[in-house]
Chains A and B, each alone.
Chain A
Amino acid sequence: METLNYTLDKTEKKSLIRQIWDLAGRSTFIKLGVFIMLIFGGMAVLSPIWIQINPAIYDPIIGVDLSVNGSVGPSFKHPLGTDDIGKDLFSQLLRGSQVAFILGIMVSLISTTLGTTIGLFAGYYGKISDTLLMRLADIILTVPILPLLIVISGIFGTQSNWIILLILSFTFWPVTARVIRAQTLSLRERPFIESAKVSGISNTRIIVKHLAPNVLPIAFYYLTVTVTGAILVEAGLSFLGFGDPSNMSWGMMLQWCFVKGYVFKAPYWMIPPGLCISLLSFSFYLIGVGLEEIVNPRLKKR
């Protein structure tokens, strides 16, 4: 099938980024991923507007509809129904989208930037800095993240999303760093880097101007798949009851449904949050795989 066959041409005048952009428009995976992502983006934007209709009822944290008794199913007033104390589930779902987006994208931006920088640095300079940084990466990679976060919440109490965001960012970078380093190691030996060195420009300039643009396509791939990882870990943590208590997230919605014993009684409460977590993670991963098909020449059609 034509859509699975892409070619990146390094000799072409257009930049690599530009070429990826052009090819992305032809990838079914990327198109599907972006489509799903946009729906959730819309939900995140809708969240404050929906609350404004009637903050006393629709605020996802403090709003309560006193006229309902117990958890009720979908109605005109509550498109997804309410939870056991009369809170609007739709507004919780919208807020969840916002939280997932911010957390996922922030973690991914921080950890991929960190990973790319460290990978470039370790790969280019080599020697002791390489050994130290990669051993550190190995250590972080072996620590199971979800149990670690559980233990941290157990000791220091449940953490705010900002702390969770930071911890995730600092545990996700080694994956990117390792791959970027491997790539840099091979790039370092190429003639164009040799000639750049001979021409006498600084190491920093070589890294920024000549190495970084060549590893960016891989960094893009990790940028998208890390979002998936971050969303799933936060959801898992919230589901187990260790989420940010001052906010609402999809994992927490599912947790309440589970803890209050409504999982089998209220499908309108149980299905949407889990489906949203899975779909949003899926969309970012789809984009990642679509990009991989473009940037990894070895996956090209025979």
Chain B
Amino acid sequence: MGKYIIGRIVQIIITFFIVISIIFLMFRVMPSDPSSFLLTPSMTAEAKQTIRKQFGLDEPIAVQYVIYLKNFIHGDFGNSFYSGRPVMSIIMEKMLNTIFLSTTAVILSYLIGIFIGKAIAWKRGSKAEKFFVILGLWFYTTFTPWLGIMFLWIFAFKLKWFPLGGMITPEKWIFDPSLFEKICDLGHHLILPLITYVVLWFGSYLLLMRNSMLETLKEDYILTARAKGLKEKVIKNRHAARNAMLPIVTAFAISISFSIAGAVLIETIFSWPGIGRTIVEATLRQDYPLVQGAFAVITMVVLLANFAADIAYSYLDPRITY
């Protein structure tokens, strides 16, 4: 086990190294000089040189690469071209918003998906099973921004139940409201993106849980449990569902990397100030340090999530030995 964990950590480091090296290369072979955004023709040669030096663009490429790696290890991604703030502090702030929204969403869709998946696997072949499988499939393949826009149109624009976007109402926060008012305001903004996420995602957990449950029900210990004369409910919840949930732990990690793509789209629709929207905006503004940093952090999060899931899986299922 210890050997396995060390092996995995080495693998994560290698993967991360490869990814950031590719990012470095892409930014060096790009058609436009990354500094051209900062340099204007009216600048004196001296001023141009100062800026180049500031961003380390005057060194040979090998030296630039070493500096780049060193800075990465220290979590220093430079300053944003656009706002001038350190990239790391922007990313941390946005990442927190993303994690807040998507973690809540993943947990909620997980619970709903497992609950329905368990029930319909038990009712194999019924009309209800078919209905929920098709419903789950439909939402799983629904185009994310479109569903978001539809929800905004109906619930925010027509019915005016929820705000049209953002995470908070800035006007309300100027006068330093009580904590309760702050939470209410945040919750009010959270509901619509959260519902969109859950509607889009519960389907994949539902299908996974159903399939896993169907496979578990074929195991010998289920037959034994029946032979012992246990109640159906006990077999379903204690014997089958617990084991059927194992593969879904792995799915949990995969859904983290999946949720990043989802976050890009949902955060854009709902103007949620998260990492997904940041990477889109930074790209459009040609804010390269921020793009670089955001992409590196996203990849790191995905790698760590996969690692955590593998560890959790081996812990939950003693049959797995590495």
B283 proximal to A (CB < 8 A) = yes
Contacts A154-B291, A263-B149; is A278 near B261 (CB within 8 Å)? no
Interface centre among A155, A270, A277, A299 (most CB of B within 10 A): A155
A192 vs chain B, min Cβ distance (A): 25
In angstroms, Cα B263 to Cα A147, docked, is 10
A286 lies within 8 A of B137 (CB): yes
B295 lies within 8 A of A28 (CB): no
B27 proximal to A (CB < 8 A) = yes
A96 vs chain B, min Cβ distance (A): 12
In angstroms, Cα B171 to Cα A215, docked, is 60
Closest to A175 in B: B254
Could you say which of B15, B127, B294 contacts A142, with CB atoms under 8 Å apart?
Answer: B15
Contacts A275-B146, A299-B215; is A264 near B30 (CB within 8 Å)? no
Could you say which of A146, A151, A233, A274 contacts B150, with CB atoms under 8 Å apart?
Answer: A274
In angstroms, Cα B303 to Cα A139, docked, is 9
In angstroms, Cα B127 to Cα A288, docked, is 20
Interface centre among A151, A241, A251 (most CB of B within 10 A): A151
A240 lies within 8 A of B268 (CB): yes
B149 lies within 8 A of A241 (CB): no
Closest to A153 in B: B283
A122 proximal to B (CB < 8 A) = no
A1 proximal to B (CB < 8 A) = yes
B259 vs chain A, min Cβ distance (A): 10
B15 lies within 8 A of A151 (CB): no
In angstroms, Cα B17 to Cα A135, docked, is 14
B15 lies within 8 A of A277 (CB): no
B264 lies within 8 A of A150 (CB): yes
In angstroms, Cα B172 to Cα A133, docked, is 55
**A236-281: which residues lie under 8 A (CB-CB) from chain B?**
236, 239-242, 251, 254, 258, 263-264, 267, 270-271, 273-275, 277-278, 281
B141 lies within 8 A of A144 (CB): no
Which chain A residues lie closer than 8 Å to B283 at the CB level? 150-151, 153-154, 242
Could you say which of B23, B143, B152, B299 contacts A235, with CB atoms under 8 Å apart?
Answer: B143
Closest to B19 in A: A143
B218 lies within 8 A of A152 (CB): no
Closest to A289 in B: B137
A4 proximal to B (CB < 8 A) = yes
A220 proximal to B (CB < 8 A) = no
Contacts A142-B299, A285-B137; is A135 near B149 (CB within 8 Å)? no
B36 proximal to A (CB < 8 A) = no
B199 proximal to A (CB < 8 A) = no
A151 lies within 8 A of B284 (CB): no
Which chain B residues lie closer than 8 Å to A1 at the CB level? 125-127, 130
In angstroms, Cα B301 to Cα A211, docked, is 37
Contacts A4-B124, A138-B15, A150-B283; is A263 near B26 (CB within 8 Å)? no
In angstroms, Cα B260 to Cα A131, docked, is 28
B295 lies within 8 A of A151 (CB): yes
B249 proximal to A (CB < 8 A) = no
Could you say which of A270, A278, A296 contacts B153, with CB atoms under 8 Å apart?
Answer: A270
A282 proximal to B (CB < 8 A) = yes
- Top 4 closest pairs, chain A to chain B, by CB: A274-B146, A154-B283, A281-B141, A146-B261
Q: List 17 A-B contacts (CB under 8 A).
A: A135-B11, A142-B299, A144-B298, A146-B264, A151-B295, A155-B26, A155-B30, A232-B141, A233-B261, A239-B265, A264-B153, A273-B146, A296-B211, A298-B214, A298-B218, A299-B214, A301-B124
Additional pairs, 19, CB under 8 Å, beyond known A155-B26, A273-B146: A139-B19, A142-B15, A142-B257, A142-B302, A144-B299, A147-B261, A147-B264, A147-B295, A150-B283, A151-B295, A232-B143, A236-B143, A236-B264, A254-B146, A263-B152, A274-B145, A274-B147, A278-B141, A285-B141
